[in-house]
Amino acid sequence: MSLVIGVRCKNGCSVIADLRNTIKEDGKIIYEDNFEKVVKCDDYLLYNHGYNRIENVDWKQRWQDLTPDDSNPVYKDLLDEMKTKPDKSAYYVFISKNMLYEVAIKVKDGVRITDFLPDDRIVSGNGSKYVDTKKLLENLSKRKCNKVFKNLKQTFNNAYARMSYLSGREFSKRYKVYQHES
């Protein structure tokens, strides 16, 4: 369960991500709001939503093995692993000023990569249905990273309010903003 919004900016990229982690144990669902979904890499930001483990460890311990290439053998291994898990899909988004790829790994569909360029944003996770992308997320690629923070925060808070009004639980009110300037 999550909401992650990534935008390409004039001088890099910015990502806002909720901190929700859902733990399923013995038929019980536990929510923790302390899980960071984004890793800062040398040239881009990388984030995950959906199944967030690789070989039963947090994916962030293996982020160096992930690439924006659907033939990467890690994704096939991950696909095989998810067949025995309750979560049947995982997504990895690679974003920078010049790149916006999503690798989708789904038990039913296999591994697929989508290049979202020339789009300047991607809204990811179960909480994406609550996001209004028409108002605050327009023309952000023409603005610098430090200028888009207010729009990202307002968009996130509006989505949270909409979700709460509809009694949803898809993502946490708590979030973190990441920036990568190039």
Q: How confident is the model at residue 69 (pLDDT cuts 50, 70, 90)?
A: very high
The contacts of residue 156 (CB under 8 Å, 6+ apart) are 3, 5, 16, 18, 175
- State how far the Cα of 182 lies from the Cα of 72, in Å rounded to an integer: 26
Q: Tokens at residue 89, please? A: 């899909």
Query: Domain segments of the chain: what residues?
Result: 4-177
How far is Cα 158 from Cα 70, in angstroms, rounded to an integer?
Answer: 34
3-state helix, strand, coil in the chain (%, to 5): 25, 40, 35
Q: What span, in angstroms and rounded, lies between the C-alpha atoms of 56 and 47?
A: 18
Confidence of residue 29 (pLDDT cuts 50, 70, 90): confident
What confidence score (pLDDT) does residue 174 get?
Answer: 95
**Does position 57 have pLDDT exceeding 80, yes or no?**
yes
Count the neighbouring beta carbons within 10 Å of the beta carbon of residue 94: 21
CATH class of 4-177: alpha beta
